[in-house]
Amino acid sequence: MNSSPDPQLPIDVAVDETHTFLGEVLPPPPARVIEVGGGRGEVAERLLGDGYALKLIDPSPTSVAAARRRGIDCVEQSWIDYGATEFGRTEFGASEHYDAALFVRSFHHITPVSEAAGIAAKCLVPGGCIVIEDFAFQTAEPALIEWCATTAERLRETGEFAPEAGTLLDHLLNDSRGPAEAWQHWGDDVHGIHSEDEMLTALQQHFTMDLRRSVPYAYRYFLTGLPNDASGVATARELLDAERRAIADGAFAAIGRRWVGSARITR
């Protein structure tokens, strides 16, 4: 299992949680990992610290600049464009191959999703794996939406919680249609993100899925609204525990997804 430094910021609680999962499923260091849509590099920094040979691909200039400041080898490009030049669209002919392709909350953004999965399969060595952490917003039950709304209201009353503009929580709390209706329109109106079915269909064209797990996810929406100090870290931990307990008690189904697949590559 990976070891992580003590969390300093609320977001670190979520990064730790992801890092622990990756410690279970990634091939051991110094395996070569390509992290697609790695953003500002919080997860990549942990993997670099573990001794992985890591490359991060992301089209966002500001995120890539932040990731580079963490010492991460980055390419500022969309996965589809990168795959077209590096791995070819039809032939398995990559100049560089990886032991694992990692997508942390990025797979739902990448279009066309079947091409995203196909490029991932082509970039891997035989026996390589795809590792995905994502979410299935369509499976959010009314009880989960209610949990988010009441948790946000409770935290807002402390005066220490400010949901970041443009986030799902902001949308849920401020949409005149109310939280349940607002959630249903989150994917369509705001992001145009892929559903769980679309993602799994694309993956199964290229991968044999070895692991499918449902995990807490909603607590992550609160983290950027919490104070960046020890009290924010404590609240982040409480929220993760509360969501875990609610799922274990059957109050609502988990919307987080973790998937691992082995590439079906024919050379």
Ligand X SMILES: C[S@@+](CC[C@H](N)C(=O)[O-])C[C@H]1O[C@@H](n2cnc3c(N)ncnc32)[C@H](O)[C@@H]1O
CB 106, min distance to ligand X, A:
4
Binding flags for ligand X, 15-44, as an x/- string (CB under 6 A):
---------------------xxxx--x--
In one-letter notation, the amino acid at residue 262 is S
Residue choice 66, 80, 125, 265 for contact with ligand X (CB under 6 A): 80
Nearest Cα residue to 209 out of 264, 134, 139, 267: 264
Considering the rule CB under 6 A, would residue 4 count as an interface residue with ligand X? Answer: no
Calculate the dihedral angle through the C-alpha atoms of 28, 32, 38, 43, rounding to the nearest 10 degrees.
30
Considering the rule CB under 6 A, would residue 235 count as an interface residue with ligand X? Answer: no
Both tokens of 162, joined, read 């400010």
- CA pair distance 50, 102, nearest whole angstrom: 15
Binding flags for ligand X, 89-118, as an x/- string (CB under 6 A):
---------------xxx--xx--------
How many whole angstroms from its chain centre is CA 244?
18
Considering the rule CB under 6 A, would residue 217 count as an interface residue with ligand X? Answer: no
Q: What is the CA radius of gyration of the chain?
A: 19
CB 82, min distance to ligand X, A:
7
Beta-sheet pairing, 73-75 with 124-135: unpaired
Rank residues 39 and 179 by Cβ distance to ligand X and give the closer one: 39
Binding flags for ligand X, 47-76, as an x/- string (CB under 6 A):
----------xxxx--x-------------
- CA pair distance 38, 214, nearest whole angstrom: 21
Contact residues: ligand X, CB under 6 A: 36-39, 42, 57-60, 63, 78-80, 104-106, 109-110
